[in-house]
Amino acid sequence: MSDSTPWYKHRWPWILMAGPSIVIVAGFITAWLAIVSNDGLVDDNYYKVGLSVNQQLKQKQLAAELNLKAALSVADNGQSVQLILSGLPKEALPDNLQLRLVHPTRKGEDQTINLIRTGTLFKGPLTANPGTGRWNVVIEDPLAGWRMDGVWNIKSKEGVTIFARPQ
């Protein structure tokens, strides 16, 4: 008894070809994702960043000596960020602070916000909605030369308090 039906009418050749076909399609999808997405994990100027580590340590030490503390929160329905800085006398507060929201894995989502002082409150607009998740926060006063950093879980919808700690 011989079966004279053509091979493509049988089930087993198609089942055997399905696995490699799925792998080929998945390979094309992976290649497309690698091309269109920017992971941003490696800094283009890594040597310069490495040289600035000692300067950052001095800036953190200065903030710790001043005993600075910053309370950071989202305001205006996610349109802006506000910060309350304590540890400095009111007359010694700077007019501007620089706030950087740094995503741990996606460099393209990082934001630099110029915070302007009104009384004891610093406020600045968000350029894009940071969404949810963990963000590294860097607060700097470029004129006085101090710097603080911490981690903010924006998913919790609550603010965060960042303490200056010596490194």
Percent of the chain whose predicted confidence (pLDDT) is above 90: 19
pLDDT tens-digit series, residues 62-71: 888 888 888 8
Whether pLDDT at 147 is above 80: yes
Whether pLDDT at 130 is above 90: no
Whether pLDDT at 48 is above 80: no
Strands (DSSP E) contained in the chain are: 69-75, 80-86, 96-102, 111-118, 121-125, 134-141, 146-153, 160-163
Q: In the structure, what pLDDT confidence band is assigned to residue 26 with cuts at 50, 70 and 90?
A: very high
DSSP 130: -
Q: Mean pLDDT, the chain, as a whole number?
A: 84
Domains of the chain: 46-163 (2.60.40)
Query: Residue 43: what are its φ and ψ, rounded to 5°?
Result: -75, 135
Nearest Cα neighbor of 112 from 97, 95, 91, 93 is: 97
Per-residue pLDDT averaged across 74-101, rounded?
A: 84
CB 69 within 8 A of CB 164: yes
